[in-house]
Structures are given as C-alpha cells and as structure tokens.
Structure 1
Amino acid sequence: MNKKGVATKPKLHIRAKDVVVGLISFGFFMIVIQLFRWQILDFQRFNNLATAQLSLQQDVFTKRGTIYTQDGVILAVDSPAWNIIVSLSNAVDQKLFLKKKAEIMTELSRILDIKQEELTTNFDDKVLTYQVLYRGITKRQKDMIEEKKLIGIYAEDSIKRLYPNGDLFSHLIGYVGTDSIGRPQGNYGVEGFFWGDIKGKEGASQQEKDLSGKAIISKEYKNIQYREGKNIVLTVNSGIQKKVEKLLEDGVRGQKGDSGSVIIMNPKTGEIISMATYPDYDPNEFWKIKDVGIFRNKSVSGPYEYGSVQKPLTIAMAMQEGKLTEDDICNDVGKLKIEDKTIYNFDYHRYGKVTPKETLQYSDNICAATYGLRVGATAMYTYLTKLGIGYSTGIGIHEEETSYLKAPEKWLKIDIATTSFGQAISATPLQFTSAMSTLANHGERMQPMLVKKIYNNEEEIVIKPTSTGRIFSAEISDKVAKMMEYATFTRLDMAKYKGVYSIAGKTGTAQVAKSDASGYYEDRVNVTYIGFAPATDARFIMLVKIENPQSGTLANLTVLPLWMKIFDTIKDDLGVPRIK
C-alpha cells in the first residue's frame, strides 16, 4: 500500500484469483445439487421416461361387469367398439394432414353423424403422433372410415357400454360417460354407485424395444395384472317394469304433470320389484339430453312433503305409545288452535266425533294432529328415525338424497301437529315406501334392497334381506292396516275391488314448499297414493306419485286412478290372491 493508502496491483491480482476460485467452487456445488436432484429426487420421473422409451406397452382391456335383472334380462353390457385416432409419425405426413384437416373433419363428422365441433373443439394440432379423436364408434362406421383411407386416421380396438333395452330401467341403471380427462366413468344409478366394482382394473403387457421401436424377442414380457369387473344382479322384474313404465308415462302425460314416480316393493324382504321415473331417457344416447335433471332418479332424490299418507303411521305411533285405541273418539270442531296458528281440514269441513279409522276415511287433519300431540316430539322423532325418515337407505343408486329431520328439542307444538299429517316433513318416495312397508309387514321394517348378487371370476357376494328391527307390534300394525282397508273401501272409486281383493291404502295431497322463500306455492301440489295387498298379508306395497298435475289437485282424482291401472295390470304377476 502506498503512502496515500491505495492498494497495489499485486494485491488486486490476489483478489481476482479468489473470485475465480469461488466461482468454480460454486459451480461445482451446483452440479452436485443438480446431480442429487436428478438421481434422488427426480429418479422416478426419469426412470419412467427411460422405461417408456425402451419398452412397448399394450393395454389389456378388462371385462367390465354386466348388470342383470332378477329374471336374467341384460340391462347393461360391454360391446366391441372402436376409437378413431390420429397417428402420424413424420413431419411430411403431419404437414399434409394439417393442410387437409378441414376436409378430413368434415368427412368424419358426416360418417359419425355428429357436429364437426365435437371433433375439433378439443383437438390439439401439436399432438399428431397419437391422439384419440372420437370414442365408441360402430363396426359399420369403422368400415366406412377405413374405406376412405384418410391420411393419419385409424381405428383402434375399444369397448362400448351397451344398453339393450333402451330407456327401460334408465333411472335405475344410469350410464357410462367420461370424466374430465376422457376416461370412462359411471354416472347416476347403479353404474354410478357401483362403478368401482363394475369397471374392474385394466392391465397391460410390456416388452423392451430397440432404438427402431421393434420388440426385442429375447426379452421377457412384464404383465400388469387386470381384474374383471363385477357383474350385478338386481331384484327388479323386467316384465313388471315394462308395464309400469308405459302406464306411468301415460298417467303423467294424461294429468299434465311435471314428473311421476312408481315404487313397488316386497314388504317381507325389502326387495324392489319395480322402480320407475318419468320423463326417462335412453342411456345409449345420454348426450342428447339437455336438461341434466332428467338423469336424476326422483324415486330416491328430491325429498318432498308427502302429505296425508303420514296419517296411518301417526295413528300407529299413538297406539304403540298407549295414547290411543282403535275406538277412541276425537271431537273435530272444524279447527285446532295451536299457539298463534290454526289448523283446518283440507276442505274446511267439521267432521264431529270420529274414530281413528274415520280419521283415515275423511283424511282428517285435526284429529291426526291431536293424535300426534299425544305422542310428543321426542317419541315421534324416535319413531320417524326408526322408520328411516331423515336417513339414506343406501340402496345403491348414485344420486340418492335424504331429507333433513331436525332434532326433537327444536320442534314447536305446531311442528308436531303438521308433521302428524305430512306437512313440514319430507322424504323421498323410497324412504316413505320403506316407512309404510312397516305396517304391511306386521310392524317390522326391512332394509330396502335393490341388489341380489355381486360377482366376478374371483368372488361372489350374495345380499340377503335384512331387518332394521321391529317398530310396532304385529297386533297394532294389523289393526292400522285394517283401518286403512276400511277407509279404502268407503271410496266409490275403489268399490270395484270390494269383496274381491283386500287392499289397504291412503291418499296424500301436499302443497309444494317454495325453494327460495318461506311458505308454499298456491298453484302447485304433489299427489301420492300408497297401498298394499292383501291388507294383513301383503305381497307388495306400491307408491305412485305425480308432481304438480295440472288436471287437478286432489290425489283421489289424479294419482289414485293411475295406481289402480297399475294394480289391475300387475296383480296377477305379483300373485295377489282374491278374497275367497
């Protein structure tokens, strides 16, 4: 350093050398870090890339499960199909394809009978070595496309889900579509609920290849094992279902309703014999449906306030609690004041002194509410939960919903009263069918059951009927069933069955609650009829519901005639005996 304190050149030379050494050391350190990342952190990714470059893989499609009815009819099955792919290995062909792309797409859309946008919307011009253009074409379409010899267009083997019976059972089955990245996916119904079992597990075979892409014969194959999808056998009867669906469509159209549902169950086992919803759809062409609400099975979704069909259950609760006898007299004075609310009968009629069976005959709201108040919130809540209200049945349909049943400590007296005649309480048609089946089965409720057997080449699972427990005594259940039979045959429209068949039933008409505000619509109702036969040895229980009929607002004039038509058509199939 000189006298002025300025550093000399040799000292500066030493500092530059240190910088160079430091840079070299830092570079070496970064190389070590990168090697660590490649060899340790990213090992799997690079290993997979190397494997892909040095191996040929051929996917092995697994056999997806078939869905059957209990009488052996195939509802859903895999069928041979083909996918249209674009595959161009060199730049010259790729350039030619892009030049003729519009012409090629026009020709394909004509053969496939689809809009050209379905081919072009998600097509990537930068991925021309292999790209699936369209899935699930028929052999006829495949042959027509191959005859055209379109550059870069090929057909590869695939499978397609086939529904041989079209719209029959559509809401039970659902359909197989695709997920967000194009993989097959079960949607709605049994296909949606059991998709994990139905689809099985796809396999593949791998073999090493040389630099030209040819298989190395001396190298062994590596197999990725596949598992067959599971077949499913349902409890439903195809012959009865076909009749029910036709009558339901006619009934809903005739009453100008928004929709309709029918459930037929064996109350002794819980097995579903038939379940239908209208409007329906063809799962082979599900993409043609614009309103996705059509896909929902309204027998198990969209809980609704079901109305006076609740009254037999309220009577059974009160009798089971020892708060009511079959000869008890209720004094109906035309209205019932509860706090700041007043309850009336649907026709504002005053019925005077009535017994429980006459409460059903007149569909008396005031007496039903009186019985319910005797039961009380806690006991009524307990009975409702045991009857399955507020809980999913777990029947095996993807879109099943349930209603909300608030805790009993939150109930007001008016809640008890209105629940007693089926307002301010909701359930799906299946939930309520299951609840009422308790009376049809001498007080014991069976778990609703749609699937009889699930099996493949490795295992077999047989589902047996299961009791959820006894809720009412057999004596009380049979007494209430006889009350229902009495009320049924006081109706002129049911007179033709009197002395011929033993039928226990109840109508229900309920206003529709507003979805975006409190209160009810003035011009919308849901109408329900539920009945079983014979009254004290039921072979079946059937619920029929029509949503918002425009031809009338009373259940006996809208939905009861449809119930009777279905009964007339299937009673012999169900083995309903005549009265001797």
Structure 2
Amino acid sequence: MLKSSKARVYYLFGSIVLLFGLIAWRLFCIQIGEHDFYQAMAAEQSQSSDSQVLYRGEILTLDNYVLAMNKKWPMVYAVPKKIKNPEETAKQLAGLLEMNQDVIYKRLNKPSDPYEPLKQKISDETAQQIKELDLTGIEISYQWTRYYPGEAIAAQLIGFVSQKNGQYGLEEYYEEELAAGKDLTLTVDYTIQFFIEEKIKALQEQFQAQSSSAIVMNPKTGAIIALASYPGFDLNCYSETEDISLFLNPIISHVFEPGSVFKPITMAAALDTQKVTAETVYYDQGERVIGNYTIHNWDGKAYGRQTMTQVLEKSLNTGAIFAQEQAGKEPFFQYMRDFGFGLKTDIGLPGEAAGDISNLLIKSDINYATASYGQGISATPLQLITALAAIANNGRLMQPHIIPQEAQMIR
C-alpha cells in the first residue's frame, strides 16, 4: 500500500517536471528561435497609426447614427523565410489585395525576414479568400481600428485618431472622454447633415467656388443641427489626404470679411438704440463720400428715398452707413462685442478663431462706414450665424453647442 502511494507521488512529480520542461522549451523557442518574428511584428504594430484602438467611445448623432466606432479589421502579413516560391505567391495575392505584383514580390523575396506586413484593413471576404488559398508563409491577423461609417460625412467636425490619440475635431477635443470609453452624442441630425453636405457640394461645383460651408442652428437653443464644409476628406483614409489644411474646420477656424450679410447686424444695432425705425427714411444718392473715399452701392445705382426696410431688401451700402451713423460709434462697437464678434464662441472644438474687429478701435469715420456693410472686419462663419440667430431669437444670444446641454443665454 505504501509502495503504491509512493509510486503515485513520483508519477505526479514527474508529470509536473515534464510540464514545466515543455513550458520552458516553448519559451526558449519564442525568445530565441522566433525572437525576430515577434520583434518585427511588435514593431510593425507600434508603427501602425490607428490600429491600436482597443476600445474608444463612439460618436453618435442625436438620431443615433454612428459617426465614429471601433471595428475589428483583418490584415494580411507574410513570413518571407517560410515562403518557397515568392514569385508565384505574389502572383496569387496581387489581384486579391489590389496591389502591384512586383511590390508584393519585393516584400516576399527576403529569405531571412520573419515578418513583412502586406496590407491592413482588408475586407472579411478578401481575408477568407486568402485563407482558402492556404499559402505557406501568408497569415491573417486582426486589429481593432477606428472606423467612420460615413467616410467623409462631417469629417472636419469629427476629426480622426492617429498614433492612439484624437487629432482635430471632436476626436481631439474630447480625447480624455473618448479614450476612457465614454460615448459622445451630438446635437447633429444625420438626415439634415447629409442633405446640406450634398447641397454645398453641388453648389460649389455649379459656381466653381474654391470652398463652401453651411451651418444649421436652432436659434432658440444654440444647438448645432448640422455643420459641413466642402471639400472634405475620407476619415478612413486621412493619411492619403494631400492637402492637410482640409483637416481644419473652416466654420470655426477660417475668418473672412462678412460683406453684405453683416447689414442685418448693423440695422439691429441701430434699431435697438431707437435711433431709427423700420420706416425711417434717408435719401440714397448711390454713393457716400467720407474723407478721401467714395463708397458706392454694390450695383452702382441710386434709389432716392428709402426706408430702413428697403435698405435690407436692396442691400444698400449707403443705407448701412446711414444706420451706423445714427447709432453712433461707441454704441455700434459695443453691439459688435455683444453680438460676439472679436470673441471666440467656446463651442467646444479645437482651433477656433476669434475674428477681428480691432479696426473699430481706431475711431475713424471710414472704418466704421466700411464695417457697417461687413468690410474691414473679420469673423468666422460660426460667429456670424450665432449673431444672426440672436436676431431671430428676439435679441437673445445663445451659447452655440454641439453636445446636448441645457440652453444657455450668453446675453
């Protein structure tokens, strides 16, 4: 009985020793025999700009359309030292990977190379086809990457992930929250977003413009319903974008002279000072002489007696100047500030510009005259729509926002 017990103990001990021996041998093989393979594979993965997303919060529209998500993509790689016929292998892969056969061959024809990446983000169908070829030395692995189902939809608003970090747009501004796995729901309506993107693209092509932008805002709350610019870029292929300035969101970063769309702002200031009414009349001679400068209406015409309503209807430069002069320089400048010009809106996006109305600090007549019809000053498209929305909202300027929140009045 005693001998039988001892035999079991020796058998168990021997099994444990054998098990540890096998583990030690496998570790030796990995560390020494396959060291080059794993080192090369690790280096490639560390260099992959966006393939290391384990879990990042999703970005969704208010109507639950996913703008940014995580997706497990197949990738194909080679172990060249195992490949017996690189030329034939390259020939079989070229069509499936949509790659040049010579390029593949050069990567495969490295007899001592333990690891050579061929292509990332291949389709599941392509991965399956490659598996079915059963090519020695050709392997499929899977990587979690950031994926944007809408491709170029709201690209400059969303931004992208590179080197594990958000770059530009919401991906950058909310990096901490998204990296922690928190989902981000926007005020954007996907149907309206898609609609305006199609429209501005068509209009730009029709009028051969360099760029175009559009914003849809709820004037009562400040919520951004849609925000788009064209040209844009495909978020899933951002590294292929030749002009990196397209990564910037022109709606918040591009400043321009507003021109005639600024005239309602000027008229609102004059009306609020009670120096004019909608029926106040001035005589339009088609031009105004201010110092050494002569300012004409945009169409070069003179319209005689005109009300303030007609000034806006006909977009008269001389009428805008009249309204500004009635309001006075100090009140006009303060209204510009109250409307938010020369100040960032703090919408919650990176790269926002403040615009510039410093020209009005020089209290010359000509500076104020040109400012009345939107020249000599600059603003972003977001500043402009925020100010115009205040007019539509009975003079209440609302905080523009892209993340749902309680409506907040600035002034």
Verify same fold: TM over 0.5.
yes
User: Which of 158, 161, 166 lines up with 2:143 in the alignment?
Assistant: 158
Task: Tell me: CA distance 1:301–1:119, structure 2 relative to 1, closer, same or farther (3 Å).
Answer: farther
Of 360, 367, 371 in structure 1, the residue corresponding to residue 312 of structure 2 is 360
CA distance in 1, matches of 2:240, 2:286: 53
Aligned to 2:358: 406
The residue matched to 1:277 in structure 2 has which SS?
Answer: strand
Amino acid of the structure 1 residue aligned with 2:63: D
Q: In the alignment, which residue of structure 2 is the partner of 1:192?
A: 172
Match of 1:113 among 84, 92, 98: 98
Count the aligned residue pairs.
361
Q: 1:240 to 1:184 in 2, by over 3 A?
A: same
Give the equivalent residue in structure 2 for 1:284: 236
Query: Do structure 1's residue 69 and structure 2's residue 61 form an aligned pair?
Result: yes
Q: Which has the larger radius of gyration?
A: 1
Residue of 176, 186, 193 corresponding to 1:241: 193
Q: Which digits, 9 at most, give the CA deviation of each residue in 1:383-433, with x for residues without a partner?
A: 222222223323344454342331643343211110101111222222100
Deviations 1:62-97 (A, max 9, x none): 321111111111122111124455679xxxx4xx77
Question: Residues of 2 paired with 1:301 and 1:76: CA distance?
Answer: 22
Task: Supply the distance in 1 between the matched residues of 2:251 and 2:359 (Cα, whole angstroms).
Answer: 25
Aligned residue identity for 1:305: E
SS at match of 1:299: helix
Q: Unpaired segments of 5 or more residues in structure 2?
A: 1-34, 36-41, 47-51
Q: Which residue of 2 aligns with 1:468?
A: 410
Q: Relative to structure 1, is the Cα distance of residues 280 and 376 closer, same or farther in structure 2, using a 3 angstrom cutoff? A: same
* Pairwise CA distance, 1:184: 3.4
Q: Which range is displaced more, 66-75 or 163-172?
A: 163-172
Structure 1 Cα separation of the partners of residues 179 and 401 of structure 2:
22
Residues 198 and 278 (structure 1), Cα distance of their counterparts in 2 relative to 1, 3 Å cut: same
Of 275, 280, 288, the match for 1:336? 288
Give 1:307's aligned residue.
259
Aligned in 2, Cα 1:117/1:308: closer, same or farther, shift over 3 Å? farther
How far did residue 288 of structure 1 move?
4.5
- Aligned partners of 1:336, 1:118: CA distance in 2, in Å? 69
Contact 2:57/2:178 (8 A) holds in 1:
yes
Counterpart secondary structure, 2:225: strand
Check conservation: 1:369, 1:418, Cα contact below 8 A. yes
Q: Is the 8 A contact 2:320 2:373 kept in 1?
A: yes
- What code does the residue aligned with 1:70 have? L
Instruction: Give, in angstroms, the shift of residue 251 of structure 1.
Output: 2.6
Matches within 5 A, 1:108-507: 110-114=95-99, 134-146=119-131, 147-151=133-137, 154-176=139-161, 178=162, 183-200=163-180, 229-406=181-358, 408-452=360-404, 463-469=405-411
Q: CA deviation at 1:261?
A: 1.9
Tell me how large the CA RMSD over aligned residues is.
3.6
Identity of aligned residues (%): 30
Q: CA deviation at 1:329?
A: 2.5
SS in 1 for 2:252: coil
Q: Please report how far the alpha carbon of residue 371 of structure 1 lies from its aligned counterpart in structure 2 after TM superposition.
A: 2.2
Corresponding residue for residue 215 of structure 1: none
Unaligned residue ranges in structure 1 (runs of 5+): 1-52, 201-228, 453-462, 470-580
Q: Give the aligned residue type for 2:367.
A: D
- The one-letter code of the counterpart of 2:277 is T
Aligned partners of 1:119 and 1:134 also within 8 Å? no
How has the CA–CA distance of structure 1 residues 154 and 360 changed in structure 2, closer, same or farther, with 3 Å as cutoff?
same
Tell me the secondary structure at the aligned position of residue 250 of structure 2.
Answer: coil
Change in Cα spacing, 1:138 to 1:383, as seen in structure 2 (3 Å) is same
The alignment's TM-score, normalised by the length of structure 1, stands at 0.55
Task: Indicate the residue corresponding to 1:492 in structure 2.
Answer: none
CA distance in 1, matches of 2:329, 2:88: 72
The CA distance in 1 between the partners of 2:100 and 2:167, in whole Å, is: 24
Which amino acid in 2 is paired with 1:391?
A: L
Shift of 1:113: 2.6
Secondary structure of the equivalent of 1:357? helix
**Offset of 1:118 from its aligned partner?**
9.0
Contact 1:235 1:451 in 2 (8 A): yes
Query: Shift in Å at residue 274 of structure 1?
Result: 1.8
2:168–2:350 contact (8 Å) kept in structure 1: yes
- Partner deviation per Cα, 1:11-67 (whole Å, 9 max, x = no partner): xxxxxxxxxxxxxxxxxxxxxxxxxxxxxxxxxxxxxxxxxx9xxx9x996321111
CA 168–101 in structure 1, closer or farther in 2 if over 3 Å, else same: same
Question: CA–CA distance in 2 between the matches of 1:116 and 1:149?
Answer: 16
Deviations 1:318-358 (A, max 9, x none): 23234333343323223212121111111222222322112
Q: Which SS does the other structure have where 1:444 is aligned?
A: coil
Superposition deviation, residue 306 in structure 1: 1.8
For residues 122 and 334 of structure 1, the distance between their equivalents in structure 2, rounded to whole angstroms, comes to 73
Q: Which amino acid aligns with 1:248?
A: I
Q: How does 1:22-61 map to 2 (within 5 A)?
A: none
Name the one with the larger strand percent.
1
Is this contact kept in 2: 1:170–1:283, CA < 8 A? yes
Cα distance in 2 between the residues matched to 1:283 and 1:345: 44
